[in-house]
Structure 1
Amino acid sequence: MGSTVETLEFQAETRQLLRLVIHSIYSNKDIFLRELISNASDALDKLRLESLTDSGLQADTSDLHIALEVDRGARTLTIRDNGIGMSRDDIVELIGTIAKSGTAGLLDKLKEAKDAAAAQSLIGQFGVGFYSAFMVADKVTLRTRRAGTDQGTLWESDGQGTYDIQAVDGLPTGTSVTLHLKPADSEDALADYLSEWKIRQIVKQYSDFIRWPIRMATERTDADGGGEPETLNSMKALWARPRSEVTEAEYHEFYQQISHDWQEPAATIHMRAEGTFEYEALLFLPSQAPFDLFSRDTRRGVQLYVKRVFIMDDCDALMPNYLRFVKGVVDAHDLSLNISREILQHDRQIQGVRRRLVKKVIGAIKDMQTKDSETYAKVWEQFGRVLKEGLIEDTDNTDTLLELISAASTHDPEKTTTLREYVARMKDGQDAIYYLTGESRAMVENSPHMEAFAAKGYEVLILTDPVDEVWTDRIPAFDGHRLQSIAKGQVDLDEPADGDQEANADKAQHEQDFAALLPWLTTTLSEHVKEVRLSSRLTTSAACIVGDAHDMTPTLEKMYRAMGQELPAVKRILELNPTHPLITALRTAHQANPDDPALAEIAELVHGSALLAEGGDLPDPARFTRLLTGRLTHTL
């Protein structure tokens, strides 16, 4: 007997998403069936797992399957499973609201999507495939009962903003989703979804590897005159087959099924380990990064199975965070079925599997770098920023990851370079790999720190990813050559040889000429700098700001502060160009009248200009503006 029907509203963002799904034009509406079959398969996986770990569940798992039922007269297509089912609360949480799926971000991306294929991919990435049913149906009816409970639930909606929900009796365990298809004359293709050939085609293309049978009564009849049930999918665990027996097309189809990525993967890794701990793995390196790659809530792609029984999605014990873009399946033979995430984190066998998987993935990228530079360049463009996180997280593979780095440099504005290639081009006598970090290539290239290096023909790596600020601080050297920021420490490119009497004389003269000005400036600017000294890295700029060898960079300091970490203020060093007209004029004015109050203002302007040149923040922008305006007025 049914209970009172309750009408509830969808969450506001869910309504927006439904409108986009219903009214957008997609080049391929077939994804609705793929998504609903995947949901049904997940429900069967969950029931199988719970029945093995919960002896009190008393669920019938003797014939777990998915059934597709067509009623041409009523124009309905039903996707039915005898899986775990849902409670009323499950339905309200999972279907009435999808805040956990990152709806706001999805809505923004759907609006930005420039083509239908991109929009389809986004729907899959956010795990909201249930709503794709409304692309083809003007009403969806869901009946479900959770295993271990007596009460079933009926849910129904036309996708226009509300849904009806009520308790019902007599439902079997599992879930059925009935799509009331839109009128055939509204869109000719919708008639195909009632056709056996079309359903077969979709199942073969998208769901052939699902481990549960997908059955449908065919147009052939049995002895009693009814439709004969037929299994439409092969149910072959692709990862369990020898690589020689799997075609590239099958790999690509499987990749699309587990990743919802419509592009072909950049690389496929199929491996089998035998011995004390047996497992199979089928991993894929995508060719394009998902847009939520850097989201805190992004999901990793590796699924864990035990003897082909699904255990968990997003198994973070099997893949480090910096390889979170890797998709695939790991099927272990010797784990307990009720193993938890907490146990996995400390399981020695799993840690061993993780180490081998990581080496395989990094090795595949290294092989790509060596044998297919074009594909490697695309993969690095998409995932290089993430891979560099491994230089912070994964000390075991530091050397290999350093070999993979592809960075912009001053050597060739059109091409990136590896560290190995940089070392091969180093000048005679050069012992350091020079680099400069910054927010953009233009900012780095125009930095005053670059002047002497450009004049002397020294190559400098241009590093603009936020993670570059961190890993360059952690990695001391590559191939015996230290990594040297040109914005830190002393850089003596112009250090004269012992026998160069003229150059030595010039240096000594500069030191003598500025003997009085430098300490005065250090005292005058003591609130902001710890030292003022002459520079050997400037050729055209008047001044620049540098840090000591082990100082934190301003960008890194800002990153930590943005994360809420309180840090003591880091005073840096102001370097002056002793040949610049402004600096020589300041020296002359100080020699003539060291007590002139205008000199202190000019000192502040020199310091502020150096800060601005490196993209830094002025301590008091209003004061800097007043001083600059005053000096300009006085000059005119």
Structure 2
Amino acid sequence: MTGIEERQPEQHVFEADVSRLLHMMVHSVYSDKDVFLRELISNAADACEKLRYESVSQPQLSSDRAQPGILVTLNEEAQKLVIEDNGIGMSRDEMIDALGTIARSGTKAFIERLEAAKAGEKAELIGQFGVGFYSSFMVADRVDVISRRAGESEAWKWSSDGKGSYQVVAVDLAEAPARGTRVVLHLMPDEKKYTSKWTVEKIIRDQSGHVPVPIHLAEKDGEEPSQVSDGAALWIKQKGEISKQDYDDFYRSVSGQYDEPLANVHFRAEGRHEYTTLAFIPGSQPFDLFDPDRQGRMKLYVKRVFITDEAELLPRYLRFVRGIIDTSDLPLNISREMIQESPVLAAIKKGVTSRILSTLEKMAEGEAETYSKIWDLFGAIIKEGIYDDFERRSQLLKLARFRSTVSHEATRSLTDYLTAMKEGQSAIYYISGSSLDQLKSSPQLEGFRAKGIEVLLLTDGVDSFWPTNVPDFEGKPFKSVTQGLADLNAVSSEGGTDESGREASTEVKAFIEFARSALGEEVADVRVSDRLTESAVCLVASEHGPDRQLEKLLQGAGRLQTASKPILEINAQSERIRSIASIGDPAFREDAAWLLLDEARILDGDKPANPRAFADRQARLFASAIGHGK
């Protein structure tokens, strides 16, 4: 290559996030360093798949007709490990972009988790995040990447010790692959095991045995390599030919995770549209599960050629599912724009979604323990479908599981709830909030407990939204216990307790009228409560509009400029309320009314509206009590 000798290496500094990531990985101790090899092989397989895809429209890129392949070469004497592919390769700019910067939101999440993790937890983090190429620096003190992009006449070398900077320099074509990428790991002195054929072959078989590209292993430079994996697509095999270990290994290679899947969905659809699906429900939450973009991670293949992993192949509430869909009903050169508008993919999406949900239904009935794990991990995401997917709402409601005032640590279905409803009960009651403990101690639940009425305890963010969007479940409407009148009179109390003595006394009624006037515009109303049995006061929302929790969320997100005024409910049977009502001093009664309102706010998870006024009123109340004591 003319002029190579005159070219000087370009010196670059890693992007800030990359530097932080490399520093933590190099200076931490992990029990699962083997993951680096899986990551590098996965990158190599992706490069081969990208070449196959680009060659559809540009046949000259693979005019040598060489079969895609990955070669792993060991060098015990030089303590080097080399992973080489004959895929698409990288240009200079692509090399800098791919190896010097990180554009994925998952990296930040990984770094934050890694920094916060305790020593005993670190080993579980690698493999849950797509750290990819950078995992090489867990075992190597220098990494060289030599690459030649298909169709180009230049080759480039990237080199770094992982300590903050890297070099890029043009190299002679004789030093580079004819096409593709060669990654050379100069192993650390105590990582010599990665030059052992037995060790490396076992890692490849265990973690990368089902990548769709053949893998060969050579024990020395120039030695005839042996085949470790044939690159046969697992999904085209019959189920009877595939072991659980095969499925688990393929799941790890396709998902980038290091756990075991809780379930898989493997089927071939024939008829109007023909496609094969192999999907997995992970055994742990993927790092990007709550990513604001909420993109799925299913890979689309056409006739075994990888097309994209960015197509929306499942609804977003199933974005935790990992796997592949391979169809022969689309052209190989389909564009991303055509993918988004394709009626074929719309039909496939519908079919795969139905199959996954029916699998979950069967598990809920026949494998309750496993389904409970799935719900604990992904229930908050599945419930987004109750809000978004009108067509499947009834099916998703039956799949939903909830903690309630009677379930203790277990969960219950809505069918369980309907079966246990009290005579005279006309609604499915719920309360939503951010903390299970706070909800359990909420004063709004007291009357429902006294009546033996079950209340669903909803703590996920989406729980504040979907009940208002769902008219009913099998004819029973959803009703927040923090909204409107409790309507408990139609249901008899537990044990048939007589409730005739719950009428407010004349003094209490007079105090309620006084409080209504004293609090003025601060509340919509002050009234006797039929939901309180122990607490003195609580706040509820009006019958119409959002309940208390939804209103707080909307206001916090700037979606609600002015919150509606709450209703202050007072327990007419409370000894404290009766004592307050018996005191005729107007100043005392006014302080008491405002303190009761602030108490209700605190019980609702808020702060007093005016902390200084709250403290002053409390001080006057204490002074009055001390004065009477003297």
1:228 and 1:58 mapped to 2: Cα distance? 24
**Matched position secondary structure for 1:526:** helix
Is the 1:452–1:538 contact (alpha carbons within 8 Å) kept by the matching residues of 2? yes
1:364 and 1:474 mapped to 2: Cα distance? 26
1:101 and 1:489 mapped to 2: Cα distance? 42
Aligned twin of 1:238:
234
Aligned pair 1:489/2:489, yes or no?
A: no
2:193 and 2:410 mapped to 1: Cα distance? 50
Is the 2:149–2:155 contact (alpha carbons within 8 Å) kept by the matching residues of 1? yes
**Matched position secondary structure for 1:328:** strand
Shift of 1:114: 5.2
Which of these residues, 516, 525, 529, is aligned with residue 535 of structure 1? Answer: 529
With structure 2 as the length reference, what TM-score do the two structures score? Answer: 0.90
2:388 and 2:64 mapped to 1: Cα distance? 45
CA spacing shift, 1:337–1:618, aligned 2, 3 Å: farther
Moved more, 286-295 or 377-386: 286-295
Is the 1:68–1:214 contact (alpha carbons within 8 Å) kept by the matching residues of 2? yes
Aligned twin of 1:213:
214
Structure 1 alignment gaps of length 5 or more: none
Which of these residues, 24, 28, 32, is aligned with residue 36 of structure 2? Answer: 32
Aligned twin of 1:402:
397
Moved more, 86-95 or 322-331: 86-95
2:108 and 2:620 mapped to 1: Cα distance? 49
2:520 and 2:620 mapped to 1: Cα distance? 23
Which of these residues, 568, 571, 578, is aligned with residue 574 of structure 1? Answer: 568
Which of these residues, 450, 454, 473, is aligned with residue 449 of structure 2? Answer: 454
CA spacing shift, 1:35–1:241, aligned 2, 3 Å: same
**Matched position secondary structure for 1:155:** strand
**Matched position secondary structure for 1:467:** helix
CA spacing shift, 1:510–1:29, aligned 2, 3 Å: closer
Code of the residue aligned with 2:274 in structure 1: it is E
Is the 2:35–2:126 contact (alpha carbons within 8 Å) kept by the matching residues of 1? no
CA spacing shift, 1:228–1:524, aligned 2, 3 Å: same
Aligned pair 1:97/2:97, yes or no?
A: no
Is the 1:543–1:574 contact (alpha carbons within 8 Å) kept by the matching residues of 2? yes
Aligned pair 1:563/2:567, yes or no?
A: no
Which of these residues, 593, 605, 618, is aligned with residue 608 of structure 2? Answer: 618
Aligned pair 1:442/2:445, yes or no?
A: no
Which of these residues, 75, 81, 86, is aligned with residue 79 of structure 2? Answer: 75
Shift of 1:81: 1.6
Aligned twin of 1:200:
201
2:194 and 2:73 mapped to 1: Cα distance? 11
Is the 1:59–1:147 contact (alpha carbons within 8 Å) kept by the matching residues of 2? no
CA spacing shift, 1:151–1:597, aligned 2, 3 Å: same
Aligned twin of 2:129:
126
Shift of 1:281: 0.1
CA spacing shift, 1:146–1:560, aligned 2, 3 Å: farther
Code of the residue aligned with 1:621 in structure 2: it is P
Which of these residues, 5, 12, 18, is aligned with residue 9 of structure 2? Answer: 5
Aligned twin of 2:183:
177
Kindly provide the CA deviation profile for residues 49-86 of structure 1, in whole angstroms up to 9, marking residues without a partner as x: 12223468676554322222334443322211222222
Shift of 1:251: 0.9
**Matched position secondary structure for 2:363:** helix
Residues 11-30 of structure 1 mapped to structure 2, 5 A cutoff: 11-30=15-34
Shift of 1:213: 2.2
Moved more, 70-79 or 537-546: 70-79
Shift of 1:494: 3.6
**Matched position secondary structure for 1:49:** helix
1:437 and 1:92 mapped to 2: Cα distance? 48
Moved more, 620-629 or 354-363: 620-629
Code of the residue aligned with 1:180 in structure 2: it is H
CA spacing shift, 1:119–1:278, aligned 2, 3 Å: farther
Code of the residue aligned with 1:82 in structure 2: it is N
Shift of 1:546: 0.9
1:496 and 1:54 mapped to 2: Cα distance? 74
Shift of 1:328: 0.7
1:278 and 1:110 mapped to 2: Cα distance? 43
**Matched position secondary structure for 1:389:** helix
Kindly provide the CA deviation profile for residues 243-290 of structure 1, in whole angstroms up to 9, marking residues without a partner as x: 122222211111122223333211111011112211000011112223
Shift of 1:218: 6.4
Residues 224-373 of structure 1 mapped to structure 2, 5 A cutoff: 227-296=223-292, 300-315=296-311, 317-373=312-368
**Matched position secondary structure for 1:343:** helix
Aligned twin of 1:141:
144
Aligned twin of 1:547:
541
Shift of 1:167: 2.4
Percent of paired sites with the same residue:
39
Shift of 1:373: 1.4
1:161 and 1:505 mapped to 2: Cα distance? 77
Code of the residue aligned with 1:435 in structure 2: it is Y
1:121 and 1:273 mapped to 2: Cα distance? 37
**Matched position secondary structure for 2:20:** helix
**Matched position secondary structure for 2:392:** helix
Code of the residue aligned with 1:167 in structure 2: it is A
With structure 1 as the length reference, what TM-score do the two structures score? Answer: 0.89
Aligned twin of 2:381:
386
Moved more, 57-66 or 100-109: 57-66
1:178 and 1:487 mapped to 2: Cα distance? 63
Code of the residue aligned with 1:580 in structure 2: it is S
Shift of 1:112: 4.4
Is the 1:156–1:163 contact (alpha carbons within 8 Å) kept by the matching residues of 2? yes
Is the 1:545–1:572 contact (alpha carbons within 8 Å) kept by the matching residues of 2? yes
CA spacing shift, 1:533–1:150, aligned 2, 3 Å: same
CA spacing shift, 1:503–1:73, aligned 2, 3 Å: closer
**Matched position secondary structure for 2:144:** strand
Kindly provide the CA deviation profile for residues 484-527 of structure 1, in whole angstroms up to 9, marking residues without a partner as x: 21111112324699xxxx989867x6487666554553343232
**Matched position secondary structure for 2:439:** helix
**Matched position secondary structure for 1:67:** strand
Shift of 1:598: 4.3
Code of the residue aligned with 1:486 in structure 2: it is V
Q: CA RMSD in A?
A: 2.8
1:340 and 1:586 mapped to 2: Cα distance? 74
**Matched position secondary structure for 1:149:** coil
Code of the residue aligned with 2:611 in structure 1: it is P
Shift of 1:119: 4.1
Structure 2 alignment gaps of length 5 or more: none
Shift of 1:341: 3.9
CA spacing shift, 1:121–1:606, aligned 2, 3 Å: closer
Code of the residue aligned with 2:23 in structure 1: it is R
Is the 1:277–1:334 contact (alpha carbons within 8 Å) kept by the matching residues of 2? yes
Shift of 1:100: 2.9
Moved more, 38-47 or 50-59: 50-59
Aligned pair 1:413/2:408, yes or no?
A: yes
CA spacing shift, 1:249–1:505, aligned 2, 3 Å: closer
CA spacing shift, 1:410–1:217, aligned 2, 3 Å: closer
Code of the residue aligned with 2:610 in structure 1: it is D
Code of the residue aligned with 1:67 in structure 2: it is L
CA spacing shift, 1:126–1:74, aligned 2, 3 Å: same
**Matched position secondary structure for 1:295:** coil
**Matched position secondary structure for 1:395:** coil
1:619 and 1:59 mapped to 2: Cα distance? 74
**Matched position secondary structure for 1:527:** helix
Kindly provide the CA deviation profile for residues 461-497 of structure 1, in whole angstroms up to 9, marking residues without a partner as x: 2222221111121122222222221111112324699
Shift of 1:20: 2.8
**Matched position secondary structure for 1:232:** strand
**Matched position secondary structure for 1:303:** strand
Code of the residue aligned with 1:380 in structure 2: it is W
Moved more, 106-115 or 395-404: 106-115
